[in-house]
């Protein structure tokens, strides 16, 4: 099946720092999504981004489908950004939405 690899697995930053999270995938996909899981376990959709670049406040994402990767940028980090960030891809050949193992982000005050 498709491999979805996220890096880094863990990231610890001071409040105010910027970060880049990466998602690589091994097969052609119809779409890609980024999610944030907060410390209470809730999963929130950040971006639906099969290709191109989108921005939402301090967060932005870029997907280069032809090179099979996506990047999530977080600028001016806040403690509320802490949690786990997942990317998920929908394979072209079927309708399975497969998740990576996530990047755990700790923002220190």
Partner 1 sequence: NAGVTQTPKFQVLKTGQSMTLQCAQDMNHEYMSWYRQDPGMGLRLIHYSVGAGITDQGEVPNGYNVSRSTTEDFPLRLLSAAPSQTSVYFCASSYFPGLAGSTGELFFGEGSRLTVL
**Which residue's CB is nearer to partner 1, number 83 or number 102?**
102
DSSP 109: -
Q: How far is the CB of 54 from partner 1 (least distance, A)?
A: 12
Is 31 a binding residue for partner 1 by CB under 8 A? The answer is yes
The long-range contacts involving 36-40, CB below 8 angstroms and separated by at least 24 positions, are 36/81, 36/83, 36/84, 36/85, 36/86, 37/83, 37/84, 37/85, 37/86, 37/102, 38/82, 38/83, 39/82, 39/83
Is 60 a binding residue for partner 1 by CB under 8 A? The answer is no
Q: How far is the CB of 86 from partner 1 (least distance, A)?
A: 6
State the residues that interact with partner 1 by CB under 8 A.
1, 30-31, 33, 35, 41-43, 45, 48, 86, 88, 90, 94-102
């Amino acid at each position: 099946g498709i491999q979805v690899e996220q890096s880094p697995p863990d990231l610890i930053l001071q409040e105010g720092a910027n970060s880049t999270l990466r998602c690589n995938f091994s097969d052609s996909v119809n779409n890609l999504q980024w999610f944030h899981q907060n410390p209470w376990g809730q999963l929130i959709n950040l971006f639906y981004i099969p290709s191109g670049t989108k921005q939402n406040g301090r967060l932005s994402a870029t997907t280069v489908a032809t090179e099979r990767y996506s990047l999530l940028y977080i600028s001016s980090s806040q403690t509320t950004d802490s949690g786990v960030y997942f990317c998920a891809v929908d394979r072209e050949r079927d309708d399975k939405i497969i998740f990576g193992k996530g990047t755990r982000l700790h923002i220190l005050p």
